[in-house]
């Protein structure tokens, strides 16, 4: 008997970047955020203007009764301690729209990974245990080390404690921040570790997680960079899916397939992604079973 082909995951897209369209694309996914809802966003490093603005995301956060969640960073900057991280979150306006929870403020715990090629566990903020559902609300852009930052990065590095970030960045070499940069970096191992950690978080929540990426202010640099390069691309839109691999792949495809024009140059971001082997994260994520790089694009503006 023939086995029916599995339907490709849907990636929803709107070209309208507004609070209303953010809610609309969330509703298009058909998965209701219920219980204690964590909304994972980057609060943005002090000095970086590109993070998702509270004025954009506030309506969705309020609709789901969500709490904005983050973890401390593992590098220089103001978000390496709970006190300074909370100050930055306040300065950037996040505390005006919701409660902000620095999940590793009181420690961390291990969750299992399926892919043990590099890391043997994922070290996440202790307060992750307090949530029933996660909305992974990512800002799609470049990244100095990973090449790109999308939903996979947002729930791997983003949900990891500071020590967990060190463990991912060092591809399992050490799970302590101190001295994490004092050895030769394994680039592909780092990218594969992000995929493995993202899968661990996906497994933790099961069908109680969904993924949204906002393609605006697309610098080659991450929101963790205090002085990022000015975006060379115009804002594109909002994409969402129940499959994180499909969503990141769709965002990359949009960047690589667009025709450059005056004031809308995709070359810098393409170079950043390619030079860091950034798509290897997505490829490895598919390989280990996190999702599919094949997808069906559904335009909700029609």
Q: Confidence band (pLDDT; 50, 70, 90) for 6?
A: confident
Helix or strand run (H / E) with residue 251: helix 244-257
Q: Confidence band (pLDDT; 50, 70, 90) for 5?
A: low
Question: Which residue would you say has higher pLDDT here, 184 or 50?
Answer: 50
Task: Mention every residue, 6+ apart, whose C-beta is less than 8 A from residue 270.
Answer: 255, 256
Do the beta carbons of residue 201 and residue 161 sit within 8 Å? Answer: no
d(CA 39, CA 63): 12
Residue 205 has phi, psi (to 5 degrees) of -90, -20
Question: Which residue would you say has higher pLDDT here, 158 or 302?
Answer: 158
CA-closest candidate to residue 46, choices 8, 103, 84? 84
The residues that bridge with 135 in the sheet, in sequence order, are 39, 210
Q: What is the pTM of this model?
A: 0.97
d(CA 73, CA 77): 8
Q: Is the pLDDT reported for residue 123 higher than 60?
A: yes
Q: Is the pLDDT reported for residue 1 higher than 50?
A: no
Q: Confidence band (pLDDT; 50, 70, 90) for 64?
A: very high
- What residue has token string 């990218």? 191
What share of the chain in percent tops pLDDT 70?
Answer: 98
Question: What average pLDDT score do residues 107-117 get?
Answer: 99
Do the beta carbons of residue 167 and residue 119 sit within 8 Å? Answer: yes
Task: Mention every residue, 6+ apart, whose C-beta is less than 8 A from residue 213.
Answer: 138, 139, 140, 150, 151, 238, 239, 240, 247, 248, 251
Do the beta carbons of residue 217 and residue 120 sit within 8 Å? Answer: no
- Give the chain's end-to-end CA distance (angstroms, integer): 39
CA-closest candidate to residue 16, choices 242, 215, 270? 215
């Amino acid at each position: 008997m023939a086995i029916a082909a599995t339907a490709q995951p849907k990636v929803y897209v709107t070209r309208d970047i507004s609070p209303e369209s953010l809610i609309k694309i969330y509703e298009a996914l058909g998965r209701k955020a219920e219980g204690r809802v964590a909304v994972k966003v980057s609060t943005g490093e002090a000095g970086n203007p590109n993070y998702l603005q509270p004025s954009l995301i506030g309506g969705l956060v309020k609709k789901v009764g969500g709490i904005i969640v983050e973890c401390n960073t593992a590098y220089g900057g103001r978000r390496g301690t709970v006190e300074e991280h909370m100050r930055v979150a306040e300065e950037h306006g996040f505390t005006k729209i919701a409660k902000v929870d620095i999940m590793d403020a009181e420690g961390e715990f291990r969750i299992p990974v399926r892919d043990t090629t590099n890391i043997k566990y994922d070290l996440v903020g202790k307060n992750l245990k307090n949530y029933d559902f996660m909305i992974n609300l990512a800002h799609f852009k470049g990244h100095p080390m990973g090449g790109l930052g999308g939903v996979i990065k947002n729930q791997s590095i983003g949900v990891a404690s500071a020590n967990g970030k060190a463990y991912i960045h060092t591809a399992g070499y050490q799970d302590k921040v101190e001295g994490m940069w004092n050895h030769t970096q394994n680039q592909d191992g780092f990218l594969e570790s992000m995929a493995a950690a993202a899968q661990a978080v996906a497994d933790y929540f099961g069908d109680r997680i969904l993924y949204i990426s906002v393609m605006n202010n697309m610098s080659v640099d991450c929101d963790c960079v205090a002085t990022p390069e000015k975006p060379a691309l115009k804002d594109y839109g909002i994409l969402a899916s129940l499959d994180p691999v499909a969503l990141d792949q769709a965002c990359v495809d949009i960047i690589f397939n667009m025709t450059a024009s005056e004031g809308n140059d995709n070359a810098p971001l393409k170079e950043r992604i390619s030079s860091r082997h950034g798509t290897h994260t997505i490829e490895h994520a598919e390989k280990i079973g996190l999702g599919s790089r094949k997808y069906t694009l559904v335009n909700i503006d029609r």
